[in-house]
Amino acid sequence: MPVERTLSIVKPDGVARNIIGDVYRRFEQAGLRIIAARMLQLSQADAEAFYGVHRERPFYKDLVKFMTSGPVIVQVLEGEGAIAKNRDVMGATDPKKATLGTIRADLATSIDENVVHGSDAADTAAREIAFFFRETEICPRTR
Ligand code: GDP
């Protein structure tokens, strides 16, 4: 399995509910290394651009409103098969459908407030990492 990088976000509900550490522990226990991280407040324009692929979906306005409702933490995760592994750790989009033991099954309150974002494929991971981080801000482990 090749080493990959993926973009993860602890969404405003995760930050507000003080469960950042719980989320990070799950990444680390799954063998995902946090190689870049930053807390920030998304602007309306940032959130609209980041979720531009969903522009035509009925939930787009609510999604942008929620993602700008408070600070988020963005991080780059690295590891073998990191993109799919992170999706496994996150669980299904709808927490009601997520497997027990996943972040969304254990911690999320609804499909709208589902604690985490994770890139879904190699091309989106590359685009989403570049959306938030310069190459010099990414620090792969040397030991
Ligand atoms: P993800 O990759 O699992 O986060 O899901 P998507 O990229 O498809 O959607 C982005 C976010 O939009 C999700 O995390 C949800 O918060 C929200 N979302 C997706 N599908 C729906 C839906 O059918 N209804 C509602 N209310 N929100 C949705």
DSSP 22-77: HHHHHHHHTT-EEEEEEEE---HHHHHHHTGGGTTSTTHHHHHHHHTSS-EEEEEE
Question: What percent of the chain clears pLDDT 90, i.e. is strictly above it?
Answer: 97
Model confidence at 132, in pLDDT bands (50, 70, 90)? very high
- At 67, is the pLDDT very low, low, confident or very high (cuts 50, 70, 90)? very high
- Mean pLDDT confidence for 43-68: 98
117 Cβ below 6 A of ligand 1:
yes
For the residues 120-136, what does the mean pLDDT come to? 98
Cα four-point dihedral sign 130, 72, 121, 25: positive
Residue nearest to atom 17 of ligand 1 (CA): 112
Active site (annotated) includes residue 117: yes
Per-residue pLDDT band at 19 (split at 50, 70, 90):
very high
Per-residue b/e over 106-134, b at no fewer than 16 CB within 10 Å? bbbeeeebbbbbbbeeeeebeebbeebbe
Largest CA distance in the chain: 46
Encode pLDDT of 68-117 as tens digits: 999 999 999 999 999 999 999 999 999 999 999 999 999 999 999 999 99
pTM above 0.75, yes or no: yes
59 pocket-lining for ligand 1 (C-beta < 6 Å)? yes
Nearest residue CA, atom 14 of ligand 1? Answer: 93
**pLDDT band of 16, cuts 50, 70, 90:** very high
Average pLDDT, the chain: 98
